[in-house]
Structure 1
């Protein structure tokens, strides 16, 4: 079976319908590898364009981008391992919603979501090398692909887990919020301490 790679970037619905018929786990893994390679190139370019200007103190993401080589390896592993483990987590989330949940559905959903997002990130990183206008143009083009990726997450959830629109929306929301919290905690490890200081500094309520 020919893998619909081009369709996965720009016409994800066509790719979803074709992959759904076969339900072959190797295809989503190929997608994750492709998206991982594009992300690796993007992180390397962003690290190069940053040129060590990003303060890396206490911020793992900034430390990653300050070294283009490490950024490339990290970007690839984030997509590949994140997609494989995230697919397992997404399977559990959708299983809790009483859908037709399996590991293939979880990985396939995230793999299709990663394809347009990785291409958008690559375009942003390339245009970031152009002074002044480059980052602005890249941000505009990147938004198109990121919006396409967000729509793909919802549509792929509905198709691969064979569920209705409301359940798919609940699943996407629950998954996105939980992953966002993990990413924030990893990117800003001092955030829990900051929140605890804010809450502890509040005056006690009046009796």
Structure 2
């Protein structure tokens, strides 16, 4: 129980309490995946069409829901917190028609804060600083940065782009923080080389050659 208190009830009391207990909030479809950040939870249902945000500070409650209709489904999503308020969470959604959209978790029904259309398969990553890296199966890398306006509002902009020269159709990738700098690492399909991108420079490394040289 809350505050570590354990309370005991007679079975009859528990049964009566259960009858009067209000229904828990729920989604329309069975939840398939869950992502948690601070005090916000984002869920996606098994049909990959119902995206829901929840809060659970005192009790769980549905904050906002977005439904995708017709043939549009959500292939992937990532979440990041606001740079000025950790309790504000943003959701990046990747749909099967290759649209990338970013919404505030509290306003999933509204128009996206940012949208980008790509014509190929994509992998998305969020960073601890509230930004997003996007990798396509053709090796293109995009950086979507969170920006604070003069009115202390958050916007998102694509501020950088790079092209990896390795074959990465499997889109094996990760975000790494080095010396407080956000780095994006892409691994080649053959697992012998990788690309490291810092939005300022791109480094291509042949790991197999490096190991041979070391020995």
- State the TM-score, normalized to the length of structure 1: 0.24
- State the TM-score, normalized to the length of structure 2: 0.23
Q: Flag the structure with higher strand content.
A: 2
Q: Rg larger in 1 or in 2? A: 2
